[in-house]
Structure 1
Amino acid sequence: MEFNTQYSNQIPVSDFVSSPSTHSSFTDEDSILEELGIDFSLIINRTKQVINPIMDSPVSFSKEADLVGPLVLCLLLGSILLLGGKSHFGYIYGISILSCLGIYLLLGGLAPQTPNFMLVVSVLGYSILPILLLATLGIFISINSYAFGSLITLIIVLWCTLSSSRIFAHSLDMKSQQLLIAYPCGLVYGIFALLTIF
């Protein structure tokens, strides 16, 4: 059996060997997180601000609004509720989208400058962090059957409301209207708390 070798000799060697000038080094490349726009230090700073809503100098959300933190927190909320036997992923994302649109339209009429929609999504998403604590507590005890559970739920909703309204007031230069912003934010987090409890 003979093999025809005439085609193997016709491929030029230059196709397999490239010159050193065409090689790019990977040390000049940005990391994948930088290319995706994920900054963990920014996420940690914003999470700390939500945990401590009376912080003296709040981090400005208006400079770099991101979606990574809010998406992760909503996914965590759905996962924690799933551990408690409640599958509410669709409700979480549906209520989130509607509340972001509503707050955006409301702030568009109140704020001196038109807010960025990403700012609204980022602030409402990060401020949902205390609801995660309520959902985690709901795995271990039945929150809706005790007066203690109602008190904890009220504290959590007030915590979320204070965080989000303070960040909105600071980012949009509306410090005198913080109570006006707090009312719809409280309604949004009240809906999430009801979703968590029942």
Structure 2
Amino acid sequence: MRDDVALSFDGAEPFRGQRPRAPAGQMAGGQGPMGRNGASVLPFMPFDLGAPSSGNVAPPSGRLSYGGGSGNGFGAFEDELPLLEELGINIPQIMRRTITVLNPFRVNPDLHEDADLSGPIIFCVLFGVCQLLAGKLHFGVILGWTTLASLFLYMVFNLLAGKNGSLDLYRCVSLVGYCLIPMVLFSALSIFVPGRGLVKLIMAAVTVLWCTRSCTSLMAVLVPHADEHKVLVAYPCGLIYMAFSLLVVF
């Protein structure tokens, strides 16, 4: 019985000799090369995209750049304009125009040579916020009345001036919006004045005169041939700002 077992092992020996042997320096089973101490030595593959690998991979031809071809990464955005300047919103210019409108006795028309809509939109929103603090939701009414008031003043002036009428709607909206600043102050102060007494009515009358004077003074200087119809233009301007004052009082 032992001889048979021995013969069976001896017969399997030729098959063992046919198994391919692992080359020197490589573990059995193809696990990779081995070092001098028998430890496995695996090739290192770097995962850094900016550095070339140690294999046969060619290095990248250039660095990634965003916003330009300078190759400095995000440094190209330093040459971009600020967001407010790209949108056409000049905060220092709006502040200077606000100060000159707040002075009812001396209006500087040079600051209003270039009309814009960013300032009027800001003041309309502030007017709506003051009304909201007083418990009145008038955002849509304020924007709608500003648009209708600008159209009304544009049509009235051009009808009065006839062929000499050169007031464009864009400048008209800008003037009406900037001269709304005293009305915004009146709306903010009216929060602390309770009721609809005589004090609030006097404040409303003064504010209407203030807004009307500022609007007519600016229009008489900025618009050609407007000085001839200054008194007539003051009437629709007074009606416009009187309607805004009714929102605050009532």
TM-score class, shorter: 0.7 to 0.9
| CA distance in 1: counterparts of 2:94 and 2:207, whole angstroms | 21
Query: Is the 1:60–1:170 Cα contact (8 Å) retained in structure 2?
Result: no
Question: Runs of 5+ in structure 1 lacking a partner?
Answer: 1-8
Give the 3-state SS of the residue equivalent to 1:45 in structure 2: helix
**For the residues of structure 2 that align with 1:15 and 1:162, how far apart are their CA atoms?**
68
Q: Which amino acid aligns with 2:233?
A: I
Aligned residues: 189
Deviates more, 1:67-76 or 1:32-41: 32-41
Go from structure 1 to structure 2 and tell me whether the alpha carbon gap of 1:15 and 1:188 turns closer, same or farther (over 3 Å shift). Answer: farther
Aligned to 1:175: 227
Match of residue 189 from structure 2? 137
Q: For 2:165 and 2:111, how far apart are their aligned partners in 1?
A: 15
Structure 2 gaps, min length 5: 1-54
Higher RCO structure, 1 or 2 (CA under 8 Å, sep 6+) = 1
Secondary structure class of the residue paired with 1:188: helix
Give the greater-gyration-radius structure (CA). 2
Deviations 1:72-101 (A, max 9, x none): 100001001100111111111111111111
Q: CA deviation at 1:181?
A: 1.0
| Other-structure match for 2:63 | 17
What's the TM-score, normalizing by structure 2?
A: 0.68
Contact 1:160 1:189 in 2 (8 A): yes
Distance 1:136 1:108, change over 3 A: same
Q: What's the secondary structure of 2:89's corresponding residue?
A: coil
* 2:180 aligned partner: 128
8 Å CA contact 1:104, 1:120 repeated in 2: yes
Aligned residue in 2 for 1:6: none
Quote the sequence identity (%). Answer: 36
The answer on whether the counterparts of 1:65 and 1:122 sit within 8 Å (CA) in structure 2 is: yes
Maintained 8 Å contact 1:84/1:139: yes
Residue deviations 1:94-124 (CA, integer Å, cap 9, x gap): 1111111111112222342421211111110
Give the aligned partner of residue 107 of structure 1: 157
